[in-house]
DNA sequence: TTGAAAGCGCTAACAT
DNA sequence: ATGTTAGCGCTTTCAA
């Protein structure tokens, strides 16, 4: 393996000149630069990451801590990760993957051990044991999601309150006055991750504004769970003409359940679904949907953490606005 | 940040003694060890990863290169990743995440730059541009999947040939003689990733052995695609009584399609599905299935690459045996 | 059982 | 515009 000294010798310059040529931190003459580039190429030189980290106290690595729970929507999770990796590479950083269950220990191992010089942490809960750890760190971090007691920790997320409102606004504009919400599994609410509650908050607020009557039910990822939720909603709101689904797994099951109950979408029941566009488009009835811009959130998180790394100020909380894509599952309610 | 020198001073020993206490590479007196442990704790000392990598030429990092294509089954992908991360932590390694599209450059950056001292690469295709790169590396790597020209590169995978056979064996034992295969999307076959072809290979071989008549159709992840595939299979094999589905996304759609065609599962048509157990269990009719043991494959890959790292020999190709879980979607064909 | 000291390969003052 | 050099924090020989 060639070292910077080999390159310097080969190019007839000092090691520092090679270093500066690489970093661009000081001007290099055209001729020197050419010789250096050549030498690098012919020797197949790559800087040793560890040596570099030691000398510069920068690892050029950002740690990404992901939940690998089975009540999460995995494709969305991977979109976050993709956004993070892509943005990180754009900032010339690599990504170290940590799992949620490594907890605060994992975070401090990676941070204190100088493996990573910045952190992106997903799915932080209220009262999360990792928050105190994150606070004591000398390294910048950004949370994806809105932690209850995040204090001045920086975070990015979709504006789930606005998403809940947007769903109801759309339905209300179409004339719906009785709307049910098929929610996340109970475990998600009891974890108090926040996003699910925030969605309900927006949903409820908008309903009141529109004078619509609403009901809310959590929902498991099973046909039985979906059927139970739908029945409960109908029992509570017999005149229900629209459903909002905040549950990516349940959406296809919901469509099937409604069809087996003889309710047509959107003729009898309109549906607005929180899900990725490709899921919405693949459904038997393409769903009007609000997507979680997961890749964008991931890359924003990295941009923000890089800003902090470079001493620039980053906003405390960034909420991305939701966008609704109108498809075939929503229509005006038919007169009764 | 405390250094090893700080710890040594605080404990009244030489830095090297601290180092040896940490690595266990030479005996340390009980008293010294106790003092060192204390000092480490009170100073909150963590070895600097870069310094360690520089001095020892070991990064204690394994790179994981994942495909982030949208024709893959994402939950399965994440299970691979989880298996890799868990096993890596068990070997005291961290995981650096690379995406497929970084290609050979990404691999050599990470390897030649000494960021990672071992690599796990998923979803290598026949004629993959990364294989020559992998070959020239001084670092051990293990492929997940079976590359066509992998030569003496080490790889692990499910034995997809055996899986294809197992599916047919099960159906043949029940008495089925006319079996259709609903396959992966065409793009998967044209990429020649191998696993899909190997499944067909086993499927076909077993069918011949049992004297069963078969037909095969690729299948997109859409209702239209599923309907087309099913119709084509029925046209080719009018007496069809069983389907094998090698397509996790299509499985739920298939069930719905059959039901809308008035064909009952398993009374009219039996189904064996390649999919994770929780998907199989959540279906309206719980599916008899063969799971890809993704987490296990991931952790085996890491175990193997660690073996190589320690100079131990690793097998060229490891194929894990498939296991079939009998559920409610298969039964003997009803007499006609 | 322990210490002293020479690097590992790079960066960044400090010189010129 | 470029060279010299002193570390960065650790591991590991060599010596005791």
Asked if B131 contacts B150 with a C-beta cutoff of 8 angstroms, the reply is yes
Do A188 and A227 lie in one domain? The reply is yes
Please compute the mean of the pLDDT values over residues A245-268 and round it to a whole number.
94
* Mean pLDDT of the residues in chain A: 93
Question: What is the distance in angstroms measured between the alpha-carbon CA of A189 and the sugar C1' of C14?
Answer: 60
Q: In this structure, how many other beta carbons lie within 10 angstroms of the beta carbon of residue A35?
A: 19
Please count the structural domains in chain A.
Answer: 3
Distance CA B310, CA B151 (A): 21
C-alpha dist (Å) from residue A28 to A17, A23, A80, B136: 8, 11, 40, 33
Do A219 and A100 lie in one domain? The reply is no
Neighbouring residues of A202: CB distance < 8 A, sequence distance ≥ 6: A160, A161, A162, A163, A164, A165, A166, A168
pLDDT in the model for residue A180: 98
Greatest C-alpha distance within chain B: 88
Which phi and psi angles does A165 have, rounded to 5°? -65, -45
CA-nearest residue to B116 within chain A is: A49
Among A50, A68, A256, beta carbon nearest to B54? A50
Do A27 and A125 lie in one domain? The reply is no
Q: With CB atoms and an 8 Å threshold, state whether B282 touches A222.
A: yes
Supply the range of the domain harboring residue A15.
4-47
pLDDT in the model for residue A151: 67
Do A232 and A285 lie in one domain? The reply is yes
- B142: which strand partners? B120, B154
Do B131 and B187 lie in one domain? The reply is no
- A288: which strand partners? A272
Do B32 and B87 lie in one domain? The reply is no
Question: What is the distance in angstroms measured between the alpha-carbon CA of A328 and the sugar C1' of D14?
Answer: 79
Do B164 and B283 lie in one domain? The reply is yes
Which phi and psi angles does B278 have, rounded to 5°? -70, -30
Query: CATH code at A14?
Result: 1.10.260.40
pLDDT in the model for residue B335: 66
- The structure's pTM equals 0.95
Do A310 and A248 lie in one domain? The reply is no
Residue among A6, A44, A50 with most chain B CBs within 10 A, to mutate? A50
Q: With CB atoms and an 8 Å threshold, state whether B85 touches A97.
A: yes
Mind listing the pLDDT tens digit for each residue in B247-287? 999 999 999 999 999 999 999 999 999 999 999 999 989 99
Asked if B4 contacts B52 with a C-beta cutoff of 8 angstroms, the reply is no
Do A137 and A25 lie in one domain? The reply is no
Q: Is residue B53 part of a domain?
A: no
Q: With CB atoms and an 8 Å threshold, state whether B68 touches A82.
A: yes
pLDDT in tens, chain B (336 residues): 899 999 999 999 999 999 999 999 999 999 999 999 999 999 999 999 999 999 999 999 999 999 977 668 899 999 999 999 999 999 999 999 999 999 999 999 999 999 999 999 998 887 888 999 999 999 999 999 876 566 678 999 999 999 999 999 999 999 999 999 999 999 888 766 688 999 999 999 999 999 999 999 999 989 999 999 999 999 999 999 999 999 999 999 999 999 999 999 999 999 999 999 999 999 989 999 999 999 999 999 999 999 999 999 888 889 999 999 999 999 999 864
Do A187 and A103 lie in one domain? The reply is no
Residue position matching structure tokens 């089975």: A70
Do B281 and B175 lie in one domain? The reply is yes
Q: Is residue B55 part of a domain?
A: no
Q: For strands A141-144 and A118-122, give the pairing.
A: parallel
Question: SS3 string of B181-241?
Answer: EECCCHHHHHHCCCHHHHHHHHHHHHHHHHCCEEEEECCCCCHHHHHHHHHHHHHHCCCCC
Asked if B118 contacts B62 with a C-beta cutoff of 8 angstroms, the reply is yes
pLDDT in the model for residue B15: 97
Asked if B178 contacts B240 with a C-beta cutoff of 8 angstroms, the reply is yes
Please compute the mean of the pLDDT values over residues A274-298 and round it to a whole number.
95
Among A99, A109, A223, beta carbon nearest to B85? A99
Q: Is residue B329 part of a domain?
A: no
Do B135 and B203 lie in one domain? The reply is no
Query: CATH code at A84?
Result: 3.40.50.2300
Q: In this structure, how many other beta carbons lie within 10 angstroms of the beta carbon of residue A101?
A: 15
Q: Is residue B120 part of a domain?
A: yes
């Amino acid at each position: 393996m060639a070292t910077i000294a080999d390159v310097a010798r080969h190019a007839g310059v000092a090691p520092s000149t090679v270093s500066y040529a690489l970093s661009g931190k000081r001007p290099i003459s055209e001729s020197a630069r050419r010789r250096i580039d050549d030498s690098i190429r012919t020797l197949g030189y790559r800087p040793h990451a560890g040596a570099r980290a030691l000398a510069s106290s920068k690892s050029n690595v950002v740690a990404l801590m992901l939940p690998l729970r089975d009540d999460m929507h995995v494709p969305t999770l991977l979109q976050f990760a993709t956004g993070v990796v892509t943005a990180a590479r754009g900032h010339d950083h690599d990504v170290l993957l940590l799992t949620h269950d490594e907890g605060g220990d994992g975070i401090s191992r990676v941070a204190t051990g100088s493996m990573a010089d910045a952190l992106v942490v997903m799915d932080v809960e209220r009262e999360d044991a990792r928050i105190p750890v994150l606070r004591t760190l000398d390294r910048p971090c950004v949370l994806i999601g809105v932690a209850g007691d995040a204090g001045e920790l920086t975070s990015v997320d979709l504006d789930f309150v606005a998403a809940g409102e947007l769903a109801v606004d759309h339905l209300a504009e179409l004339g719906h006055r009785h709307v049910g919400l098929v929610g996340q599994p109970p475990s998600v609410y009891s974890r108090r991750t926040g996003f699910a509650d925030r969605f309900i908050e927006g949903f409820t607020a908008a309903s009141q504004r529109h004078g619509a009557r609403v009901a809310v039910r959590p929902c498991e990822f099973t046909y039985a769970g979906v059927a139970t939720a739908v029945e409960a909603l109908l029992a509570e709101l017999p005149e229900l003409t629209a459903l909002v689904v905040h549950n990516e797994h349940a959406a296809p099951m919901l469509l099937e359940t409604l069809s087996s109950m003889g309710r047509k979408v959107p003729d009898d029941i309109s549906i607005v679904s929180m899900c990725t566009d490709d899921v919405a488009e693949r459904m038997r009835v393409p769903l009007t949907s609000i997507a979680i811009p997961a890749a964008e959130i991931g890359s924003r998180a990295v941009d923000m953490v890089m800003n902090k790394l470079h001493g620039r100020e980053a906003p405390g909380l960034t909420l991305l606005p939701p966008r609704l894509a109108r498809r075939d599952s929503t229509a005006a309610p038919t007169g009764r």
